[in-house]
Structure 1
Amino acid sequence: MLPITRINRNIRSLKRYRQVLGILIQYGFGHIVEQLNIDYYVELGKRIVSLGTASRELERLSQAERMRLALEELGPTFIKLGQLLSTRPDVVPAEYLDELKKLQDRVPAVDSDLIRAQLHLELGQPVEDLFESFEPTPIATASIAQVHRGRLKTGEQVALKIRRPNIESVIETDVDILMGLAYLVDKHLPGGEMYDPIGLVKEFRRTIYRELDFSREGRTIDRFSSNLEDNEHVRIPKVYWEYSGRSVLTMEYLSGIKISNVDELLREGYDPKLIARHGATTFLEQVFEHGFFHADPHPGNLHILPGNVICIFDFGMVGRLDDDLKYQLTELLFAVLKRDVDHIISQLLYSGELVDESNVKNLKRDLAEFIDDYYDVLLQDLKVGKMLIDFIEILTEYRIKFPSNLMLLSRSLIAMEGIGRQLDPEFNMVEHLRPFTERIVKERYSPANLSKELSKTVQSYQSLGKSLPRDIKEFINRVNRNKFKIDLEHRGLERMITDLDKSTNRISFSMVIAALIIGSSLIMQTDKGPILFGFPVLGLFGYTVAGFLGFGLAIAILRSGRM
């Protein structure tokens, strides 16, 4: 089955598909569209897209800038995809990362009547029956939702996050298109499989569908509230579940000073240095104690309340670290800080990420140079997030894949360090990081944990011992019954097969045209049948059909650019 058939075969999908291709071509990515061989799948008697070049104004922009503009024009789904890719330095080059971080949801507000209808549909009652007041003008708008202020009948001020009407169908269509494009990238672009485009789109599909369900975000907020309930320096908005659902999330309305507005914080008597320390400690507590952290800590999501309390908003993007990943991260951080290249290599080998022995020597050299770059940097000047990004870039060159949650953590660390240094020029993330990592290492090598690990290992070998005889017997039985099969998959030949099909079809088409011309010429030598202008009608008809077919074939060859 052709990959492109994964796209819904309805008018809306085909129209959107053409629109996506047209915008990519408009912004100067026609060469990629051609490499994907898309015309082979979407031609219906004529070429759907005409490959061109970007306008002169766009040509003056870098490819990264044009990609950002194209994603913004393509709309909500592609903007969200760009935002996800901005967290993946292992996949996206640095110049593209910087541009993708600038992606903005530039969307107008939905009409208030439609928003009221959406509230009524989700909550089952008219807005007037549920709320004492509801402000029709949103206080924030985004591609998926917009936020309105309101007041409950009981007097509490609330913020209502309301999903834009019909956004689900738009995203569903776009995700289908992205999956089709991912299959084409994987099959037709050289080295495309290295970046696992299909896996990326699957990850994106899971993320954006979860984001569409506001009840999930509500449960996430409740989980953060539970995790941080003993932290007096943090405030998480309360969720009003009786006024919430899949498309509406009603939360406690809290208003403070944006954490990046240092001048206003000082005027109001807040302590920026104390806020920086509390913010770092809270973030690292989320990472190393709970393994569940806020993955989008930009200044817009962090406000300061009286008492130097940090209020956290928007829990649509979160990261998770299990115990094994925390241990691996901790060991790597310690190895980098101790400048121990051999330990870094051993950790990569242990985790199974490094399998190509021929690259170990070069990787060791590059890691040593990376550590040398940080050798003379004072701890108070060391940027942990930036160091992780540089480390990941080296691993990416050697095709060593890192879990996506570590990418989220790197981005979040960079954001938190930036905020911390803005609040306190002497802020030192390593100082806050060291106690958490030391505790993780002590816990890992504690007698209780070692005993637990030993027990798990014994159980694993016990299970293997039980299943091994059965598996060997099944293998031998399959061989004896001639039912043992090995599946082989060829890669990189699809474009050649497609071109061969095109060439074969053109040859066949030419033979049909030649047969029509020869047959018509023979008929023209006879005087039988109806006569028109002194020539047999059947012969004239054959020449006409051959002429049209030949003209169409010539146009197709010329437009393909391959004579």
Structure 2
Amino acid sequence: MLPFSRFNRNIRTIRRYRTILGILIKYGFGQFVEQLNINYYLELGRKIVTLGTAPKEIERLGQPQRLRLALEELGPSFIKLGQLLSTRPDLVPREYIDELKKLQDRVPSVPQDKIRAAIEREFGYPVEEIFSEFDPEPIAAASIAQVHHGRLKDGTKVVFKIRRPGIVDVIETDLDILMGLAYLIEHHVPGGDLYDPVGLVREFRRTIHRELDFTREARTIERFAANFAGDETVHVPQIHWDYSGETVLTMEHIEGIKVSDLDRLRAEGYDLKVIASRGADLFLRQVLEFGLFHGDPHPGNIFILPENRVCMIDYGMVGHIGDELKRQIVDLLLAILQQDVDRIIDQLLYSGELTDESNIKALKRDLSEFIEDYYELPLQEIKVGKLLGDFVEILTHYRIRFPSDLMLLARALVAMEGLGRQLDPDFNMIGYLRPWLERLVKERLTPANLSRDFGRVAQSYLSLMRNLPTDIKEFINRVNRNKFKIDLEHRGLEKLITDLDKASNRISFSLLIAALIVGSSLIMQTDKGPLLFGFPILGFLGYSVAGILGLWLAIAILRSGRL
């Protein structure tokens, strides 16, 4: 049985469980809800949700569409979860990815008085004492925050990003429920453990907590500004710290042209080829030089300033690439570009991403066919987005898992390539990527980097040798004291235990009903006790109770759908 600590069972959470499961059933996921067996784990005296069928108009939709509509109706936490899943082609089939990308994060704006109250709670002063102007009409309203124009007292034009009041409590409740559902999926849904739903919810919790705290986003923006300090081709919005906090982020108002507005860019004399080149350099520097990159570079988040300067906004979603992951990415991309199947396999084995279920011979065959498809193509005709998509599809088939930041990087790289090709039909991301990869490989071979790598390896072996005698001694002592334990976990038995519980309860009810009928029949053969129409009242009472219990049992069996 799963530990009950996994489930928050207060009244508000139970109501939210009913809402969530009811919406899932409404959109045709009743069988999935039944597999979770959630009534058993919440130990309620009655079902928290009754299974039914989806409306006819919903049944006609495909399952990916129904999932998207369900997530939108479930609210901000589930919309954000769907957006996270849309970045994980290693976990979610392509048809679901395409549909989840359509998730709408637009909701009605918060009334002006509540927004003003939120600002005053953050800073302790009325809005009029902080800003000379505050536009009550938001320029954007999403599920977590909304954005307004305004001016500081010194006349500086700014943009305010304000967290929606009460959103934290809503999201925390949903996160508790999602973690409980993740444990149920892992233990009850066939194959659910292969997708690590608990790990996915933990990742989602970390991501959304970062997004809720605007001081983190402000610090991230300042890191980007420090990384590109002195680069005249890039502009990063300035943060006004005196007017920013956990719930309010005040930043420079960017007056530029959206990168997707090609006609206006041409009309005002911008060089689209230069913009495409600078955008590619900007993104590749973020990834391969600094290890910190913008995770959502869609056209609405990129503005072009005078002199073809590139400015990215909205740093709520960023990815992090550590030195080890960067090394693996470089080696893997080089192996793909050099069409070296053995090196690709070696890299996957080294990184530990090749699972026991993977068939290496079949994987090698599919990778060889994948490389042959691109072998004859000139570099300018190779699309990095399609190449990465095909590569990920192969590895997903073999259940090879990826770090979440790597999947976010793949999506961002595809988006940047798409923008580059819109700006410049001759744009070729591989042309920008190859020199970076070659330079990073050469840098590894410098004496300084070689000595540093050797020092790390030596330190690791030294630590291993230092700890090994103690670990061996502790192991032997545990064996000698009979303290050596192996934890075994029976997985998938909870459903069997629950079904056995139900079956035994029904048998007990049936025996009780039979006993009442037999006892009442014996009483009917006597003339003792109060009589009704010449028969003992106790006999009538026994028949009545047996009839009620029998009807109750029959209804319960029919409602379960299992005769």
TM-score (norm: length of structure 1):
0.97
Change over 3 Å in CA distance of 1:357–1:504 after alignment to 2: closer
Q: Percent identity among equivalent residues? A: 68
Change over 3 Å in CA distance of 1:395–1:170 after alignment to 2: same
Alignment of 1:283-294 (within 5 A): 283-294=283-294
Report the Cα distance in structure 1 between the residues aligned to 2:487 and 2:529, rounded to whole angstroms. Answer: 60
Does the aligned pair in 1 maintain the 2:358–2:400 contact within 8 Å? no
1:348, CA displacement in angstroms? 1.2
Report the Cα distance in structure 1 between the residues aligned to 2:2 and 2:350, rounded to whole angstroms. Answer: 39
2:351 match:
351
Alignment of 1:142-181 (within 5 A): 142-181=142-181
Q: Which moved more, 1:174-183 or 1:523-532?
A: 523-532
Change over 3 Å in CA distance of 1:42–1:133 after alignment to 2: same
Q: Which moved more, 1:536-545 or 1:183-192?
A: 536-545
Does the aligned pair in 1 maintain the 2:9–2:42 contact within 8 Å? no
1:43, CA displacement in angstroms? 7.2
1:63 match:
63
Does the aligned pair in 2 maintain the 1:327–1:444 contact within 8 Å? no
Residues 377-428 of structure 1 show CA distances to partners (whole Å, capped at 9, x for unaligned) of 2211212233122212211221211111110000000000000000001001
1:424 match:
424
1:49, CA displacement in angstroms? 2.6
Change over 3 Å in CA distance of 1:306–1:187 after alignment to 2: same
Does the aligned pair in 2 maintain the 1:7–1:13 contact within 8 Å? no
Report the Cα distance in structure 1 between the residues aligned to 2:4 and 2:60, rounded to whole angstroms. Answer: 33
Report the Cα distance in structure 2 between the residues aligned to 1:71 and 1:377, rounded to whole angstroms. Answer: 41
- Paired residue secondary structure (2:148): strand
Residue 73 of structure 1 pairs with residue 69 of structure 2? no
Q: Structure 1 counterpart of 2:456, which letter?
A: K
1:327 match:
327
- Paired residue secondary structure (1:71): helix
Show structure 2 runs of 5+ residues with no match. none
Report the Cα distance in structure 2 between the residues aligned to 1:5 and 1:557, rounded to whole angstroms. Answer: 30
Residue 459 of structure 1 pairs with residue 459 of structure 2? yes
1:3, CA displacement in angstroms? 5.4
Q: Structure 2 counterpart of 1:294, which letter?
A: H
Residues 273-307 of structure 1 show CA distances to partners (whole Å, capped at 9, x for unaligned) of 11000000000000000000001000110011111
Change over 3 Å in CA distance of 1:533–1:214 after alignment to 2: farther
Report the Cα distance in structure 1 between the residues aligned to 2:42 and 2:355, rounded to whole angstroms. Answer: 40
1:443 match:
443
Report the Cα distance in structure 2 between the residues aligned to 1:352 and 1:46, rounded to whole angstroms. Answer: 46
1:431, CA displacement in angstroms? 1.2
Residues 497-532 of structure 1 show CA distances to partners (whole Å, capped at 9, x for unaligned) of 221221122112222222333333334444444445
Does the aligned pair in 2 maintain the 1:527–1:535 contact within 8 Å? yes
Residue 502 of structure 1 pairs with residue 516 of structure 2? no
Report the Cα distance in structure 1 between the residues aligned to 2:489 and 2:43, rounded to whole angstroms. Answer: 28
Report the Cα distance in structure 2 between the residues aligned to 1:382 and 1:70, rounded to whole angstroms. Answer: 37
1:10 match:
10
Change over 3 Å in CA distance of 1:357–1:171 after alignment to 2: closer
1:124 match:
124
Report the Cα distance in structure 2 between the residues aligned to 1:160 and 1:131, rounded to whole angstroms. Answer: 11
1:275 match:
275
Does the aligned pair in 1 maintain the 2:420–2:427 contact within 8 Å? yes
Residues 416-466 of structure 1 show CA distances to partners (whole Å, capped at 9, x for unaligned) of 000000000100101111121112111222222121111111111111111
Does the aligned pair in 2 maintain the 1:232–1:309 contact within 8 Å? yes
2:306 match:
306
TM-score (norm: length of structure 2):
0.97
Residue 378 of structure 1 pairs with residue 401 of structure 2? no
1:223 match:
223
Report the Cα distance in structure 2 between the residues aligned to 1:524 and 1:160, rounded to whole angstroms. Answer: 83
Does the aligned pair in 2 maintain the 1:235–1:312 contact within 8 Å? yes
1:514 match:
514
Report the Cα distance in structure 2 between the residues aligned to 1:358 and 1:10, rounded to whole angstroms. Answer: 43
Does the aligned pair in 2 maintain the 1:3–1:183 contact within 8 Å? no
1:473, CA displacement in angstroms? 1.1
Q: Which moved more, 1:123-132 or 1:376-385?
A: 376-385
Show structure 1 runs of 5+ residues with no match. none
Alignment of 1:468-479 (within 5 A): 468-479=468-479
1:100 match:
100
Report the Cα distance in structure 2 between the residues aligned to 1:271 and 1:503, rounded to whole angstroms. Answer: 74
1:269, CA displacement in angstroms? 1.1
Residues 305-355 of structure 1 show CA distances to partners (whole Å, capped at 9, x for unaligned) of 111111111001000111111111111111111111011111112222225
Does the aligned pair in 2 maintain the 1:213–1:247 contact within 8 Å? yes
- Paired residue secondary structure (2:161): strand
Does the aligned pair in 1 maintain the 2:358–2:399 contact within 8 Å? no
Report the Cα distance in structure 2 between the residues aligned to 1:553 and 1:449, rounded to whole angstroms. Answer: 74
1:222, CA displacement in angstroms? 0.7
Report the Cα distance in structure 2 between the residues aligned to 1:39 and 1:222, rounded to whole angstroms. Answer: 48
Q: Structure 1 counterpart of 2:346, which letter?
A: S
- Paired residue secondary structure (2:307): coil
Q: Structure 2 counterpart of 1:86, which letter?
A: S
RMSD: 1.7
Residues 67-86 of structure 1 show CA distances to partners (whole Å, capped at 9, x for unaligned) of 11111111111000000000
1:51, CA displacement in angstroms? 2.4
1:12, CA displacement in angstroms? 1.7
1:155, CA displacement in angstroms? 1.1
1:339 match:
339
Q: Structure 2 counterpart of 1:70, which letter?
A: A
Change over 3 Å in CA distance of 1:5–1:507 after alignment to 2: farther
Q: Structure 2 counterpart of 1:241, which letter?
A: W
